[in-house]
């Protein structure tokens, strides 16, 4: 694959954006066989901005800036910066494992780790304004020599305020807690109180209106599997409760579509037993769904909620969602036996994959693992819950 991506070197912004998209294929919630990813991400970004399902622990939001600050303090040159950053980042794995931390990047891969935590957390660091450098990570690596020179000129003018506050000279939040003594040789993933308070301040300043913003300020621990099951749900701000209502119903719809898709593929393959297994799962889905709420669900209001400048929801995607909901209502949930629903799912997959459609490409069907995209959407709640579990003890909440 790497040889086919050499074009990415031509434009740093496009390259970083494309690599983030490619990385989505590794994310559990991104198995998007029916093209609903833009809707999923629009909801996720409103609920839990700055998160990604391939993040692990909250303290990485501090460890990465500490590592980079150390390189800047040493004035590592732009020519050596990327290689040195990778080396230092990989070197963090051993002390973190020695500290008994869970969720350590590189626990298995060690030095062969391809996706470094700095890459995984880069967007989140920007979303929370911990990272003040506005460009892609690769641009930051290339810009350090220029940053050093401009800071030197500001200091020669006896203007330390410029160095601290000029946005063009600042790469990290001025209030970032200091790296702990012994860093990076000694480090763990347990947040300290001042670190927790700093992260709360960052999220409050940037995303107070989000569900994440409310939970860091007012939340209590809860291990529920989905955000709409949180025991404080009734106290959430009305806009977030409204969004969660739509998110839950959309998760029901997507799961139903995915289960019909799997039945159709099993039938296409001629695997009667597998088709029966998927029909049984579809029956369990029918029992779980809130059919009264689905019957009253206003898609006009839903589209208003999920339409954002950062996520393009195409007309064919809207039509597919609308058509599938109509079939759910018409069939009273029994979409597994409805040929129109099967045709709808087949047509959707063909429109997305073209000649690679599993319904038309025997090789693609043979490579199918027997189940695709059936995980219930929870909109990055799993990682948000992990972050909150890291944060609350530092704030004295248990």
**Cβ within 8 Å of residue 202, ≥6 positions away:** 128, 129, 130, 173
Do the domain assignments include residue 100? Answer: yes
For residue 370, which phi and psi values (nearest 5 degrees)?
105, -10
Omega of the bond leading into 272 within 30 degrees of 0 (cis): no
Kindly tell me the sign of the dihedral angle through the C-alpha atoms of 7, 12, 13, 15.
positive
Say yes or no: 290 and 335 in one domain: yes
Do the domain assignments include residue 252? Answer: yes
Contacts for 212-219: CB closer than 8 Å, 24+ residues apart: 212/47, 212/48, 212/49, 212/50, 212/51, 212/384, 214/240, 215/384, 215/388, 216/388, 216/391, 219/388, 219/392, 219/397
Residue numbers of the domain that contains 244: 28-50+236-367
* pTM, full prediction: 0.90
* CB burial of residue 359 (10 Å; 0-12, 13-18, 19+): middle
Do the domain assignments include residue 3? Answer: no
Instruction: Report the alpha-carbon distance of residue 130 to residue 171 in Å, rounded.
Output: 9
**Cβ within 8 Å of residue 364, ≥6 positions away:** 353, 356, 357, 358
Say yes or no: 306 and 350 in one domain: yes
Say yes or no: 319 and 363 in one domain: yes
Say yes or no: 291 and 177 in one domain: no
Say yes or no: 325 and 245 in one domain: yes
Cite the beta strand spans of 14-146 per DSSP E: none
Say yes or no: 43 and 100 in one domain: no
CA-CA distances (angstroms) from residue 20 to 116, 119, 129, 133? 12, 9, 19, 18
Structure-block tokens of residue 222: 């809860």
First to last CA, the chain: 46
Do the domain assignments include residue 127? Answer: yes
Say yes or no: 65 and 138 in one domain: yes
Instruction: Report the alpha-carbon distance of residue 69 to residue 356 in Å, rounded.
Output: 46
Say yes or no: 321 and 254 in one domain: yes
- Tell me how crowded residue 147 is: count the other CB atoms within 10 A of its CB: 18
- Nearest 5°: CA angle at 355, between 349 and 357? 30
Instruction: Report the alpha-carbon distance of residue 173 to residue 170 in Å, rounded.
Output: 8
Say yes or no: 148 and 267 in one domain: no
Tell me if residue 77 falls in helix, strand or coil. coil
- Nearest 5°: CA angle at 380, between 336 and 17? 105
Domain boundary among 138, 160, 183: 183
Reading the chain (398 residues) residue by residue, the pLDDT tens digits are 333 333 333 344 444 444 444 444 444 444 589 999 999 999 999 999 999 999 999 999 999 999 999 999 999 999 999 999 999 999 999 999 999 999 999 888 787 788 999 999 999 999 999 999 999 999 999 999 999 999 998 888 866 665 666 777 899 999 999 999 999 999 999 999 999 999 999 999 999 999 999 999 999 999 999 999 999 999 999 999 999 999 999 999 999 999 999 999 999 999 999 999 999 999 999 999 999 999 999 999 999 999 999 999 999 999 999 999 999 999 988 999 999 999 999 999 999 999 999 999 999 999 999 999 999 999 999 999 999 999 999 999 98
Do the domain assignments include residue 375? Answer: no
Count of structural domains, the chain? 2
CB 81 within 8 A of CB 70: no
């Amino acid at each position: 694959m790497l040889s086919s991506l050499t074009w990415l070197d031509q434009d740093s912004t496009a390259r970083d954006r494309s690599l983030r998209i490619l990385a989505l294929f590794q994310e559990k919630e991104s198995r998007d066989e029916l093209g609903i990813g833009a809707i999923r991400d629009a909801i996720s970004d409103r609920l839990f901005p700055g998160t990604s399902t391939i993040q692990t622990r909250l303290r990485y939001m501090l460890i990465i800036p500490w590592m980079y600050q150390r390189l800047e303090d040493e004035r590592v040159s732009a020519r050596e910066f990327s290689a040195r950053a990778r080396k230092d980042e990989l070197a963090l794995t051993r002390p973190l494992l020695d500290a008994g931390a869970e969720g350590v990047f590189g626990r298995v891969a060690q030095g062969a780790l391809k996706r470094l935590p700095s890459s995984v957390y880069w967007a989140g660091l920007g979303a929370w304004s911990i990272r003040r450098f506005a460009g892609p990570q690769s641009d930051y690596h290339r810009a350090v020599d220029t940053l050093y020179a401009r800071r030197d000129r500001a200091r020669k003018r006896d203007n330390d305020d410029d160095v601290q506050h000029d946005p063009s000279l600042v790469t990290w939040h001025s209030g970032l807690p200091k790296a702990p003594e012994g860093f990076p040789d000694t480090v763990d993933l347990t947040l300290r109180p001042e670190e927790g308070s700093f992260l709360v301040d960052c999220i409050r300043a940037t995303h107070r209106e989000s569900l994440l913003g409310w939970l860091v300020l007012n939340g209590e621990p809860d291990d529920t599997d989905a955000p709409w099951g949180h025991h404080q749900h009734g106290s959430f701000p009305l806009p977030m409760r409204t969004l969660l209502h739509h998110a839950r119903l959309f998760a029901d719809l997507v799961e139903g579509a995915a289960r019909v898709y799997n039945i159709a593929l099993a039938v296409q393959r001629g695997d009667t037993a597998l088709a029966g297994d998927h029909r049984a799962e579809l029956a369990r889905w029918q029992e779980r769904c809130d059919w009264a709420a689905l019957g009253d669900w206003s898609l006009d209001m839903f589209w208003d909620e999920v339409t954002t400048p950062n996520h393009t929801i195409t007309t064919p995607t809207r039509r597919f969602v609308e058509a599938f909901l109509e079939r759910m209502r018409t069939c009273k949930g029994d979409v597994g036996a409805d040929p129109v629903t099967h045709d709808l799912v087949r047509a959707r997959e063909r429109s997305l994959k073209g000649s690679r459609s599993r319904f038309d490409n025997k090789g693609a069907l043979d490579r199918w693992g027997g189940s695709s995209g059936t995980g219930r959407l929870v909109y990055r709640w799993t990682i948000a819950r992990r972050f909150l579990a890291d944060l609350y003890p530092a704030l004295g909440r248990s």
